[in-house]
Chains A and B, each alone.
Chain A
């Protein structure tokens, strides 16, 4: 069975703290993604990675960085958390065949609150 896990379901951090969100997939997928989801704004792509050590900015990368040292693991880093980064964070993975990007599988999400 397909599995994407995220390190925490709920996190509460203080403004200015450095925050690490980790995501692990067991499907040997090349591609991994980080999204945030906010009411009324839908799913917005923060960063994605199509190979180990490769990363590309998504639509809202400001205030975030990522790391992909191993194929199965993709980390999202909030360098200095701010209250406007309070959100639901979703990790996903998918595979590519030729030029076709196949379906994404999502983790359960991390609800981050920054106070």
Chain B
């Protein structure tokens, strides 16, 4: 079951541009995570959002959790080639098996110098 719809699937931009990745669901999540994964490596946790409406910043990355805790976004300002990678959202919905995570399909970002 694809509980988390992530978009866009692919993004190719020039260095210095801004971008936003979206993660949407019809279910309420107790928390939502964002990961970045580089080829041949495991996903690395960037942030966890818990409270509806919460905004967290990590240098040029801004993460937002929707008021109803059903969606989240990741905004990158002035993207750099080092931001290239696969971005994944994940979370554990409140009404399902609460020991299991669901993942978005991922956004493959390529930042060209």
Within 8 Å by CB of A43, from B30, B44, B45, B88, lies: B88
Name the prevailing secondary structure of the B interface residues. loop
Q: Does A90 contact B (CB under 8 A)?
A: yes
Q: Does A74 contact B (CB under 8 A)?
A: no
Chain A residue, CB-CB nearest to B99: A50
- Count of chain B residues near A, Cβ 8 A: 25
Q: Does A15 contact B (CB under 8 A)?
A: no
Q: Does A83 contact B (CB under 8 A)?
A: no
Q: A43-B88, A100-B30, A100-B31 are in contact. Are A109 and B99 (CB under 8 A)?
A: no
- Count of chain A residues near B, Cβ 8 A: 27
Tell me whether B101 and A106 are in contact (CB under 8 A).
no
Q: Which chain A residues lie closer than 8 Å to B44 at the CB level?
A: 106
- Residues in A lying within 8 Å of B, measured CB to CB: 4, 31, 33, 42-43, 45, 48, 50, 56, 58, 88, 90, 92, 94, 96, 99-109, 111
